[in-house]
Amino acid sequence: MAFLVRLLISAAALFVAARVVPGIRLGEGNRLNTPSDWMTLLVVAVIFGVVNAVVWPVVFWLTLPLTLATIGLFLGRPRSPEETAAWLQ
């Protein structure tokens, strides 16, 4: 179910990008008016999902040394200076 939701969100984002950003076209001309055009939109959304599923773990492992070196200060929500000082003590 979560994959389907992410797929639909990616498809919606691609649809908006195709409408707003000049030069991005997913169908003939400026419209998505055939089933083939909508299928293209879903295929691109699936490709983006697979790429994100592969890239995220790689980026996580590549940035892990930096995260450990900074004691994880950049993870989670932004902290106020007082909370950061109390956390470091």
What is the pLDDT at residue 58? 92
Residue of 48 and 33 predicted with greater confidence: 48
Q: Using a cut of 0.85, tell me whether the model's pTM lies above it.
A: no
What is the pLDDT at residue 19? 81
Tell me the CA end-to-end span of the chain in Å, nearest whole number.
43
Number of domains in the chain: 1
CA 54 to chain centroid, in Å, comes to 12
> Can you give the residue range of the structural domain that contains 27?
2-88
pLDDT band at 87 (very low <50, low <70, confident <90, very high): low
Q: Which residue, 11, 15, 8, is CA-closest to 32? A: 15
Average pLDDT, the chain: 79
Query: Environment class of residue 6 by beta-carbon count within 10 Å: exposed (0-12), middle (13-18) or buried (19+)?
Result: middle
Q: Which of 1-10, 56-65, 71-80 has the lowest mean pLDDT?
A: 71-80
pLDDT band at 76 (very low <50, low <70, confident <90, very high): low
